[in-house]
Every structure is written in C-alpha cells, then in structure tokens.
Amino acid sequence: MSLENISIYLNAIICLLICWRLMFFQKTGRYRFRISLLAYCLILASGWTAFRLLWGRYLNVDPAEIALNLFVCFALLKARGNLASLTQNKKSRTCTWKKY
C-alpha cells in the first residue's frame, strides 16, 4: 500500500467522522437557521468527499486538505458536534464600550 493510498483512506475516514458527528448531534436550545444550514452543507460536503474517495472518483488528495479536514474533525469532536459553539464569539455577548 503506497503513501498515496494511505492518504486517500485517511481523508475518507476523517470526512466520514465529520459527517457522522454532525449527523448525530442532538440539539438542545433554540433553532438557528444559519447554523443548521451550515451544518447541513458540511454534512453534504464531507459525506460526498468521503464517498468519492471510497469509490475511486477522487484520485489526488493534498496534504493540506487532510490537515484542514483533521482540524475541522478535532474541533467538532471537542465541541461534541455543536457547530454553534464553534462559530459564536463569546466576547460579543457583553458590551464593553460606553455610549456617549
């Protein structure tokens, strides 16, 4: 097995983990359309990439693509699939400037 085949299967596994973690996230709280749309697009993109890799339709995998997918996968696993916690700015909740 060559290094190219290992990178293809590694990227497919990472994409399947991203897809799996987002698909089985159970939301508690209010519905946010934009976050749901972003999660849906990430599920479709990662699932489609994984299946194309496994079917042999995606022949070249860049190491930077693997690194980016791995970063997204680790971030989603750490947030337990909560995409809203990754996209929100915790400092924007409080107003620190004064109105004059």
Tokens of residue 17, six digits: 């983990």
Task: Summarize pLDDT for 51-89 with one digit per residue, the tens.
Answer: 888 888 888 888 899 999 999 999 998 888 888 787 776
Query: Domain residues of the chain, as ranges?
Result: 3-85
Task: Summarize pLDDT for 10-60 with one digit per residue, the tens.
Answer: 999 999 999 999 998 887 878 888 888 999 999 999 999 888 888 888 888
C-alpha to C-alpha distances, 18 to 3, 15, 33, 55, nearest whole angstrom: 23, 5, 20, 18
Q: At what angle do helices 63-78 and 3-23 cross, to 10 degrees?
A: 30
